[in-house]
Amino acid sequence: MAFEQLFSQWVKLSEHEADLTQELHQVKDEPKALEDRFYKDLDFGTGGMRGIIGAGRNRINIFTIRRAAAGLANHLLSDENSRGKCVAIGFDSRKYSDRFAKETALILAARGIQACLFESLRPVPLLSFAVRHLGACAGVVITASHNPPEYNGFKVYDHEGAQLPPEMAERVTERIRELTFEECQPMPEQEALQKGLLRIIGKEVDDAYTRMVLGLMVQPDLALKVGDQLKIVYTPLHGSGNLPVRRALNEAGIKNVTVVKEQELPDPNFSTVRSPNPEDPAAFTLAIPLAEEVGATVIMGTDPDCDRLGVCVRDQKGAFITLNGNQIAAILLDHILSSLKKEGKLPENGAVVMSIVSTNLAQALCADYGVTLFEVLTGFKFVGEKIMEFEQTGSHVYLLGFEESYGYLSGTDVRDKDAVNAALLLAEAACVCMHEGVTLYEKLQQIYQKYGYFAEITHSATYPGKEGAERIRAIMEQMHSESPEQIGGLRVCALRDYLTGKQKKTGVVTDLSFPPSDVVYFDLEGGAWVCARPSGTEPKIKFYVGISDKDSMEKAHIKAENLLKAFMEMTE
Active site members:
145
Give the integer Cα–Cα distance in Å for 525 and 150: 42
Helix (H) or strand (E) holding 478: helix 465-481
531 in Cβ contact with 439 (< 8 Å): no
Identify any residues that bridge with 351 across adjacent strands, giving them in sequence order: 372, 398
58 in Cβ contact with 40 (< 8 Å): yes
Give the integer Cα–Cα distance in Å for 207 and 367: 37
Q: Name the residue among 500, 505, 463, 467 with its Cα closest to residue 481.
A: 500
Dihedral sign (CA 58, 63, 67, 68): positive
Task: Tell me how crowded residue 525 is: count the other CB atoms within 10 A of its CB.
Answer: 11
- In the chain, what's the furthest Cα-to-Cα distance? 70
CA 476 to chain centroid:
23
Give the integer Cα–Cα distance in Å for 13 and 55: 10
What DSSP string runs through 479-544?
HHH---SEETTEEEEEEEETTTTEEEETTEEEE--S---S-EEEEEGGG-EEEEEE-SSSSEEEEE
Q: Which amino acid is at 164?
A: L
Question: Helix 97-110 to helix 62-77 angle, to the nearest 10 degrees?
Answer: 40
Residues 6+ apart with CB under 8 A from 466: 35, 36, 39
394 in Cβ contact with 347 (< 8 Å): no
Alpha helices in 394-461 (DSSP H): 419-436, 440-451
Q: Is 399 strand, coil or helix?
A: strand
Question: Helix 419-436 to helix 124-134 angle, to the nearest 10 degrees?
Answer: 110
Strands in 315-441 per DSSP E: 320-322, 350-355, 372-376, 397-403, 407-409
Q: Is 455 strand, coil or helix?
A: strand
66 in Cβ contact with 110 (< 8 Å): no
Residues 6+ apart with CB under 8 A from 504: 483, 494, 495, 497
The count of residues in the chain is 572
Dihedral sign (CA 190, 192, 193, 198): negative
